[in-house]
Each structure stands twice: as structure tokens, then as C-alpha cells.
Amino acid sequence: MGILGSRGPYNDGVYHFCKGEYDRAVRSYRKAVERNQMDHKAWNNLGLAEYKMGNEKEALVCFNRALSIRPEDTYAMLNKAGLTVAQGRYAEALMMIERAILMDPRDPYAYNIKGTALMKSQRYGEAVKAFEEAVGIDPHFRHAKSNLKRAVREFSRSRKLPGGGRKELADRSDQDILEDFMLTRHEDEERLPPGQKGGSPGALSDGISAPDLEEFEEFEDEEDWDEWEDLEGLSWEE
């Protein structure tokens, strides 16, 4: 038996997913849920792998299965919300996100997804508040920082349009925005064999970890900060 096979199908799936080998991850997670159909984490990860393969219908089935096993699984809940955002059903997605936030009000990723849904709904002021929450919880969350910067800009531009109108987002696709958070909801910790003692499992023992996400620009020039300061003190309710 090879090294991967000795890990078990779930850990094999984690290994392949973190290497970007999504087709192999799908096969491994399929084996994991065949062995234990009540494994909600495996169902969630399988959904993400299916999504990365472009199989949105299969991904949704997997997220729903995870939630049927464990309704409070906020990973699966937020992943399902992400797919719903991508399909343009923002109000429905926001309901799921708010439920996830009630369950875990300190999850920065939930606020990042909430801000994304609000941005796509052109509710820029509310999006700023959501991204602020994400950055306040995790000051090192690059995607939320970048999204906060964009939300501030869009909010500023919307206030400058004739009649207070709003500009349609056109510089990033739904897929690009979705990528900001879909990778964060993958359970990427290796499972320890039964009976093995030690600290909580971390990244895979051979050093494989989740791939670095795209670097986003932050507030790098005075103009950006000036724009931010100009908006301070305003009510973000639109």
C-alpha cells in the first residue's frame, strides 16, 4: 500500500485538494463517504472538490447532504451560500449567511461572504460594514481587506453618480469573487489514526498545505487612504 493509501481516503482527499488535484480529491472523498455516509466533513470537502471541477449541481448535493447530517455545519452552510451568490440569488444567500453568523459570530469568512453578496446586490454601504467586521475579527485576512477597499470605492462612486444612482460591478466576475472564500471552507486538517495521542492535527505531515490564494493589493497609496477618510463618519446604511 502506498503512502497516500495508508492515510485513508479522507486524508488522501485533503492531500490532493491542497495540491490542486481536484479530480483525485473527488475520488478520495467519494471513497470516504462510501465508508461513512454520515461524515459531514467529507461531504463538505467533496462538494468543494466537485465545485472546483465545475460540477455545481453535484457540489450543491454534497453541501445539502452535509447539512442534513449536521445542520449546524457552518462550513457547508457558507459554501452553499457561496454557490447561491454565484447563481445570483443574493437574498436567499444572505439568509443562510445570517444563520451561520448567529451560530458563529466570530467567523471572519462569514462576514466576507456576506459583504460579497451585498456588493453583488449593489448595497455597498452595508458591504463595507460586513468587510469591516471580517477585518476586525482577523486583521490579516487579505481577501476581506481587499474587498473592504473595493467596497469603499464603490460606495464612494455610487454617491457621486447623478441622482444617487449605482454603478454595476463590472471589473470582477462572479467566479472571481466566489474564489475569495470558497477555498476557506475546506477542512484541511489531517485526521489522526484512532487511538493516536498528541496535539490537535494540523497541516499534512509532509508539509503540504492549502495553496496560497491570490495576493490582493491593500491600501498602498495616499489616495486610497484619503478616500477612506472622506467616508469616515458617514452612516453605512443606504
Per-residue pLDDT at 170: 42
Per-residue pLDDT at 104: 94
DSSP labels, 70-137: -TT-HHHHHHHHHHHHHTT-HHHHHHHHHHHHHH-TT-HHHHHHHHHHHHHTT-HHHHHHHHHHHHHH
Q: How many helices (H) and strands (E) does the chain have?
A: 12, 0
All three cell numbers of 224? 486610497
Instruction: Give the span between the Cα atoms of 62 and 56, in whole angstroms.
Output: 10
Taking the CA atoms of residue 199, residue 201, residue 205 and residue 208 in that order, the dihedral angle to the nearest 10 degrees is -140
Q: Give the burial class of 196: count Cβ atoms within 10 A of its Cβ; 0-12 exposed, 13-18 middle, 19 or more buried.
A: exposed
Dihedral sign for Cα 94, 97, 102, 105, please.
negative
Per-residue pLDDT at 228: 36
Instruction: Let me know: does 79 contact 96? Beta carbons within 8 Å.
Output: no
Nearest to 43 by CA among 4, 5, 80, 18: 80
Instruction: Give the span between the Cα atoms of 100 and 184, in whole angstroms.
Output: 15
In the chain, the domains with their CATH numbers are 1-70 (1.25.40.10), 72-186+211-238 (1.25.40.10)
Q: pLDDT tens string for the chain (238 positions)?
A: 444 445 799 999 999 999 999 999 999 999 999 999 999 999 999 999 999 999 999 999 999 999 999 999 999 999 999 999 988 999 999 999 999 999 999 999 999 999 999 999 999 999 999 999 999 999 999 888 999 998 998 888 887 755 544 545 444 554 455 445 444 456 666 655 555 544 333 322 222 223 333 333 333 343 443 333 333 333 233 2
Angle (CA) 153-159-163 rounded to 5° is 145
Per-residue pLDDT at 162: 56
The contacts of residue 132 (CB under 8 Å, 6+ apart) are 148
Question: pLDDT (tens digit, 9 = 90+) per residue, 67-98?
Answer: 999 999 999 999 999 999 988 999 999 999 99
Per-residue pLDDT at 229: 35
Per-residue pLDDT at 114: 94
